[in-house]
C-alpha cells in the first residue's frame, strides 16, 4: 500500500542468469573455507579473491559498457553477491567497488566519468571507501561536521570520519563534507557536497591519517582524520551543496545490493545446517529427525526466500529507474533479519561445534550480525517505513 | 541504601554480596576482563585472591574446611563474579561445584578428606570431562574406555570441549567400563590427574569463552589407580545426573550476572549517546528495549534464587532447573543482542564489553545442556 510505483514492472522469480551463477561458482571454488578462515584469523585482506572478482569483470558489472564495464542490471549485481556468499565466499571486502562509483556515474560530469570510470572498471583504481559517518553523526547524517573549504581551484578538507571501511585498500574515497555551515543554509538538507578524494596521495602527503578500528569481524574499517587534505575543484561531484541528495539516491543501490549478501549468506547457512543435521547422529538417529531441529531450519529458509523476493523487487525497480526507497529499505531489513536468524539457527543446530572456529559457522555468524546495523540500522528503517505509512516522524 | 534487588536476602547474604561486588569492581574491571578475553588469559590471580578470602569453601561443609553455606550464597557469588567476567564465575564454579559436589555426593569419605579441604582453600582446581565428539547431547553415549588391569584401570579415548582441564589438578573423567549393557548402565567416573602420562591436551580455537577456553583431550593408555574411582563401578551415570541440577543452577546465576552487566552497559550508553539532538534513551523504541532487558534480568534472577532455595531445601527440582537454565540463557542472549542494537557500530568494538557478551551469551544457549535438550527434559517432566 505504500508502493512508490504505479505501473507493473517485470521481475524474475526463477533461476535467472544461469551462466553468471555457473561462472561464479567456478571462481569461488578456488577460495575454500580454509582461505577465509585463515584471513579471519590474521585479519587480512582477500587480495587474491578480489583480484579474481576484478579480473572476471564482476566488480564492474554496473559500469556501462562505454566506460569498459559489463553494463549489467542491478539484479545481476545483486545475484553476483548472492552467489559469492552462497558459495561460502565473502564479497564484503570488495562489493563497494561495484556501487560507490554510482554517484560519479549519475552526478559526475563528462570529464570526471572519462577520467575515472574506465580505470575503476578495470580495477586499476579502487573506489571502495565511502566517507560519511562521523563520531557524532551516525544515523544523523545531516549533523556531519567535516568541512570542505574552497581556496581557488581546490578544496581543503578538515575533520574526522569513522567506520570508513577499506580505506587502506582504496585509491579513491567518495567523501561527503560540509561546504556551507549548517546555520547558513536555506534548507537543512543543503550545504553538504560530494568529492572524490585521492586517498592514496593524501595518505602519502600526511594530510589524511587512518587508524584501524578493532572489531569483532575481519572487516577492515577505520577512523579517518583529515588535516588540510586537498581535493581539486575538478573533483567536486555535481553541484556544491547538493551532496546529501546525491548520497541518498545512491543508498537505495547499496541496500539493494546488500540484500544479495544477506540472502546468499542465508542460503549458505541453511544448507550448512541441513547437511549437518542430516549427518549428526544423536540418540541413535540424525538430529534432523527432531522437529525441534528441523522447524527452525525450515522457518529460516522460508524467511530467506521471502526476503529474496523482496530483494528482486527492489532490484527490478532500481533497474527501471523507479523511486524505490521503501522497497530497497524494507528488503534490506527483511534480508538482514532473515540471514541473522539463519545464522542463529545454524549455530544452534551445530551445538558445541558451532562455536569451534574450524566449522566456519561462528565466523559467518559474526559477519552477518553487522548487516542489522550497517549500512543502515534496523531502527532507522522501521522509523522510515512508519513515516511512509503516514505516521509522524518519531525522531 | 537497599534497593529492589535486595528483597528476599538476609543481612549476611547482602553483606557477602556487597563484598563480592566490591571485589569484582576492584579486581575484574572492564579493561582486565577485555584483556583476559583477547589475550586468552585465565584470571588465576583473581582466583587466588578469592581463595584467600575463603569463598571457595562457601558451600563445602565446615568439617571439610568450608563455611557450610548454601546455594543462595553460591548463587550470589557467581552472579557477582559474572558481572565482571562470566568466565571468572565459571572458574569459581568448576572449582567449587563440579569437583566439590561430585565428591560430596558420591565420593568416599577418604576422597572427601583428601580433596575437600584443598578445594575449600582454593589450592585445588577440577574439571569435568564428559563430552566426546560423538557424545554431546546424548551424553550417555560416551565411548572412552576404562579397562581394569590389576590395581589400575587403563583408559583410552577422546574428549572434546573439555574446559579448564589444562589448569586443573584433577578432572572427573566419564568412561565406559562395561560395553555390554544398556549404555547408561556401563559408565564409571574417575578422578584423574590431567598431567598423567598419555594425556594430550590441545586448545580449541573458539568464538567465545576465550579466557579459560576449552580443549580437545586424548587418553592413550592412561593408568589410573582404582582408588580414584568416583562412586561405584558402572554407577557413574546416576551420579552424574545428581549434579545436573546444580550445574543448571550455577549457569543460571552466572548468566544473570552477565546479563545485568550487559544491560547496565546499554543503559549507560543510551543515556550518553546523543543523536537527533537528544540522548537516544529518549526514544521510545530504545526505552522499550531497555524495559525488555530489565524484564529479562529480573525474571532470570527470580528463577535463579527460587531454584537456589529449592536446592537448599533438598526438594525435587529437575524441571525448575531446566526451566531456569533455558530461560536465563536465552534471556542473556536477548539482552546482549538488544545491547548490540543500542550500541550500534560501537557494539562491535572491544571498547565496550557488548561484543563479548554477545559472543559468550551465544554459547550459553548451547553449553551445559542445549536449549533443545532443556525443552526435551521439561517435556519429559510434564509427562510427555
Domains of chain A: 18-122 (1.10.540.10), 127-241 (2.40.110.10), 245-388 (1.20.140.10)
Please list every residue in chain B whose beta carbon sits closer than 8 Å to the beta carbon of residue A294: none
Contact assessment for residue A322 and residue A250, using Cβ atoms and an 8 Å cutoff = no
Cβ contact A282–B363 (<8 Å): no
Residue B38 · residue B353 · CB < 8 Å: no
Q: Are residues B249 and B377 in the same domain?
A: yes
A367 has catalytic annotation: no
**pLDDT value, residue A190:** 93
Question: Cα separation of B99 and B23, whole Å?
Answer: 24
d(C-alpha B231, C-alpha B236), whole Å: 7
The shortest C-alpha distance from B348 to chain A (Å) reads 5
Which of B125, B141, B168 is the C-terminal boundary of a domain?
A: B125
Using a CB–CB cut-off of 8 Å, the residues of B that contact A are 131, 134, 136-138, 141, 160-161, 204-209, 274-276, 283-285, 340-341, 344-345, 347-350, 355, 358-359, 362-363, 365-367, 370-372, 375-376
For residue B54, count CB atoms less than 10 angstroms from its CB and return exposed for 0-12, middle for 13-18, buried for 19 or more.
middle
pLDDT at A11: 86
Lowest mean pLDDT among A259-263, A357-361, B4-8, B336-340: B4-8
Q: Are residues B261 and B377 in the same domain?
A: yes
CATH label of the domain that carries residue B197? 2.40.110.10
What's the distance, Cα to Cα, between the start and end of chain B in Å?
Answer: 48
- B105 and B49 in a common domain: yes
What is the spatial distance between Cα A72 and Cα A67, in angstroms, rounded to a whole number? 13
A290 and B370: CB-CB below 8 Å? no
CA dist., res. A174 & res. A107, Å (int): 13
Residues of A with Cβ-Cβ distance to B209 under 8 angstroms:
355
Q: What are phi and psi of A95, to 5 degrees?
A: -70, -20
From the list B205, B362, B376, the residue facing A357 with the nearest CB is B205
Q: Are residues B74 and B146 in the same domain?
A: no
Q: How confident is the model at residue B1 (pLDDT cuts 50, 70, 90)?
A: low
| B215, B183: one domain | yes
How do residues B113-140 score in pLDDT, each as one tens digit?
A: 999 999 999 999 999 999 999 888 888 8
B205 with B317, same domain? no
A351 and B370 within 8 Å at the Cβ level: the answer is yes
Size of interface A-B (CB pairs under 8 A): 101
Q: Please report the pLDDT score of residue A1 as a whole number.
A: 57
Give yes or no: residues B93 and B146 share one domain. no
Q: Can you give the pTM of this predicted structure?
A: 0.85
pLDDT tens digit at each of 395 positions of chain A: 566 676 778 888 889 999 999 999 999 999 999 999 999 999 999 999 999 999 999 999 999 999 999 999 999 999 999 999 999 999 999 999 999 999 999 999 999 999 999 999 999 999 999 999 998 887 788 889 999 999 999 999 999 999 999 999 999 999 999 999 988 999 989 999 999 999 999 999 999 999 999 988 888 899 999 999 999 999 999 999 999 999 987 889 999 999 999 999 999 999 999 999 999 999 899 999 999 999 999 999 999 999 999 999 999 999 999 989 999 999 999 999 999 999 999 999 999 999 999 999 999 999 999 898 888 888 899 999 999 998 998 88
Owning domain of residue B275 = 238-381
B256 and B203 in a common domain: no
B96: domain CATH number is 1.10.540.10
Query: Last residue of some domain: B108, B125, B142?
Result: B125
Q: How many domains does chain B have?
A: 3
Same domain membership, residue B352 and residue B244: yes
Contacts of B141 in chain A (CB under 8 A): 282
Tell me what pLDDT residue B35 has.
Answer: 96
CATH of the domain at B329: 1.20.140.10
Non-local (6+) Cβ contacts of A53 within 8 A are: A27, A59, A84, A91, A94
Residues B299, B280 share a domain? yes
- A25-31 long-range contacts, Cβ below 8 Å, gap at least 24? A25/A83, A25/A87, A27/A52, A27/A53, A27/A56, A28/A83, A28/A84, A28/A87, A28/A88, A28/A89, A29/A87, A31/A89
B136:A378 CB<8 A: no
Q: Which DSSP state fits A31?
A: S
Asked whether residue B66 falls in the same domain as residue B151, the answer is: no
CA pair distance A140, A148, nearest whole angstrom: 19
Q: Which three cell numbers stand for residue A361?
A: 559457522
3-state class of B31 per DSSP?
helix
The pLDDT value recorded for residue A87 is 98
Which of B93, B110, B125 terminates a domain? The answer is: B125
Catalytic residue among A254, A303, A362, A367: A254
- b/e code A336-361 from CB counts within 10 Å (16+ = b): bbbbbbbbbbbbbbbbbbbbbeebbb
User: Nearest CA to CA, how far is A350 from chain B (Å)?
Assistant: 9
Find, in chain A, the residue whose alpha carbon is nearest to that of B207. A355
Q: What is the pLDDT of residue A4?
A: 62
Mutating which of A213, A357, A364, A395 best tests the B interface, going by the most B Cβ atoms within 10 A? Answer: A395
Q: Which residues of A touch B345 (CB under 8 A)?
A: 133, 138, 162-163, 373-374
Q: How far is A220 from chain B (nearest CA, A)?
A: 12
Shared domain for B313 and B325, answered yes or no, is yes
3-class DSSP assignment, residue B101: helix
Lowest mean pLDDT among A118-127, B4-13, B211-220, B239-248: B4-13
Amino acid at each position: 500500500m505504500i508502493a512508490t510505483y504505479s505501473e507493473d514492472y517485470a521481475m524474475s522469480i526463477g533461476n535467472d542468469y544461469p551462466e553468471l551463477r555457473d561462472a561464479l561458482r567456478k571462481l569461488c571454488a578456488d577460495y575454500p573455507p580454509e582461505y577465509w578462515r585463515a584471513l579471519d584469523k590474521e585479519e587480512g585482506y582477500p587480495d587474491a579473491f578480489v583480484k579474481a572478482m576484478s579480473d572476471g569483470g564482476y566488480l564492474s558489472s554496473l559500469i556501462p559498457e562505454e566506460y569498459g564495464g559489463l553494463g549489467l542490471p542491478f539484479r545481476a549485481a545483486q545475484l553476483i553477491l548472492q552467489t559469492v556468499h552462497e558459495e561460502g565466499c565473502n564479497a564484503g571486502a570488495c562489493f563497494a567497488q561495484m556501487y560507490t562509483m554510482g554517484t560519479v556515474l549519475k552526478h559526475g560530469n563528462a570529464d570526471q566519468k572519462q577520467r575515472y570510470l574506465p580505470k575503476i572498471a578495470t580495477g586499476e583504481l579502487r573506489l571502495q571507501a565511502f566517507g560519511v559517518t562521523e563520531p557524532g553523526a551516525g544515523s544523523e547524517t545531516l549533523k556531519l561536521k567535516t568541512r570542505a573549504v574552497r581556496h581557488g581551484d581546490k578544496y581543503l578538507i578538515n575533520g574526522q570520519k569513522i567506520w570508513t571501511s577499506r580505506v587502506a585498500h582504496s585509491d579513491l574515497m567518495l567523501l561527503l563534507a560540509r561546504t556551507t555551515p549548517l546555520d547558513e543554509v536555506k534548507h537543512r538538507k543543503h550545504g553538504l557536497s560530494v568529492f572524490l578524494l585521492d586517498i592514496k596521495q593524501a595518505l602519502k602527503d600526511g594530510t589524511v591519517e587512518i587508524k584501524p578500528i578493532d572489531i569483532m569481524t575481519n572487516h577492515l574499517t577505520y577512523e579517518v582524520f583529515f588535516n588540510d587534505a586537498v581535493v581539486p575543484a575538478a573533483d567536486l561531484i555535481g553541484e556544491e551543496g547538493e551532496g546529501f541528495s546525491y548520497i541518498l539516491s545512491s543508498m537505495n543501490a547499496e541496500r539493494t545490493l546488500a540484500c544479495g549478501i544477506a540472502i546468499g549468506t542465508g542460503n549458505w547457512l541453511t544448507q550448512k545446517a541441513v547437511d549437518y543435521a542430516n549427518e549428526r547422529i544423536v540418540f541413535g538417529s540424525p538430529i534432523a529427525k527432531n522437529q525441534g531441529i528441523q522447524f527452525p531450519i525450515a522457518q529460516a529458509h522460508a524467511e530467506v526466500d521471502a526476503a529474496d523476493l523482496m530483494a528482486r523487487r527492489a532490484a527490478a525497480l532500481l533497474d527501471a529507474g523507479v523511486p524505490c526507497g521503501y522497497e530497497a529499505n524494507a528488503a534490506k531489513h527483511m534480508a538482514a533479519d532473515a540471514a541473522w536468524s539463519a545464522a542463529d539457527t545454524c549455530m544452534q543446530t551445530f551445538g558445541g561445534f558451532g562455536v569451534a572456529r574450524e566449522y566456519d559457522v561462528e565466523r559467518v555468524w559474526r559477519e552477518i550480525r553487522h548487516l542489522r546495523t550497517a549500512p543502515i540500522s534496523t531502527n532507522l528503517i522501521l522509523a522510515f517505513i512508519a513515516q511512509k505509512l503516514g505516521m509522524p516522524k518519531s525522531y | 541504601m537497599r534497593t529492589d534487588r535486595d528483597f528476599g536476602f538476609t543481612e549476611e547474604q547482602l553483606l557477602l554480596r556487597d563484598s563480592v561486588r566490591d571485589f569484582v569492581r576492584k579486581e575484574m574491571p572492564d579493561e582486565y576482563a577485555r584483556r583476559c578475553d583477547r589475550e586468552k588469559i585465565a584470571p588465576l590471580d583473581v582466583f587466588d585472591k578469592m581463595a584467600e578470602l575463603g569463598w571457595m569453601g562457601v558451600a563445602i561443609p565446615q568439617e571439610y574446611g568450608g563455611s557450610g553455606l548454601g546455594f543462595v550464597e553460591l548463587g550470589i557469588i557467581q552472579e557477582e563474579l559474572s558481572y565482571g567476567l562470566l568466565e571468572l564465575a565459571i572458574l569459581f564454579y568448576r572449582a567449587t561445584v563440579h569437583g566439590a559436589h561430585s565428591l560430596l555426593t558420591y565420593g568416599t569419605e577418604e576422597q572427601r578428606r583428601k580433596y575437600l579441604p584443598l578445594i575449600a582453600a582454593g589450592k585445588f582446581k577440577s574439571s569435568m570431562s564428559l563430552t566426546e565428539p560423538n557424545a554431546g547431547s546424548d551424553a550417555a553415549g560416551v565411548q572412552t574406555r576404562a579397562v581394569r588391569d590389576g590395581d589400575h584401570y587403563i583408559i583410552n579415548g577422546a574428549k572434546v570441549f573439555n574446559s579448564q582441564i589444562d589448569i586443573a589438578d584433577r578432572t572427573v573423567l566419564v568412561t565406559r567400563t562395561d560395553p555390554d549393557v544398556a549404555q547408561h548402565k556401563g559408565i564409571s567416573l574417575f578422578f584423574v590427574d590431567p598431567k598423567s602420562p598419555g594425556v594430550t591436551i590441545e586448545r580449541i580455537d573458539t568464538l567465545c569463552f576465550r579466557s579459560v577456553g576449552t580443549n580437545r583431550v586424548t587418553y592413550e593408555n592412561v593408568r589410573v589407580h582404582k582408588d580414584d574411582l568416583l562412586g561405584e563401578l558402572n554407577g557413574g551415570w546416576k551420579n552424574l545426573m545428581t549434579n545436573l541440577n546444580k550445574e543448571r543452577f550455577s549457569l543460571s546465576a552466572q548468566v544473570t550476572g552477565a546479563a545485568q552487566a550487559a544491560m547496565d552497559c546499554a543503559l549507560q550508553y543510551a543515556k550518553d549517546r546523543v543523536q537527533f539532538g537528544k540522548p537516544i534513551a529518549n526514544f521510545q523504541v530504545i526505552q522499550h528495549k531497555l524495559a525488555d532487558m530489565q524484564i529479562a534480568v529480573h525474571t532470570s534472577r527470580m528463577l535463579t534464587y527460587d531454584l537456589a532455595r529449592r536446592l537448599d531445601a533438598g526438594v525435587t527440582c529437575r524441571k525448575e532447573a531446566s526451566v531456569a537454565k533455558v530461560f536465563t540463557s536465552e534471556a542473556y542472549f536477548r539482552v546482549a543482542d538488544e545491547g548490540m542494537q543500542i550500541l550500534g557500530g560501537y557494539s562491535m568494538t572491544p571498547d565496550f564489553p557488548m561484543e563479548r557478551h554477545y559472543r559468550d551469551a551465544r554459547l550459553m544457549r548451547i553449553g551445559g545442556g542445549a536449549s533443545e535438550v532443556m525443552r526435551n527434559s521439561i517435556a519429559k517432566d510434564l509427562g510427555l
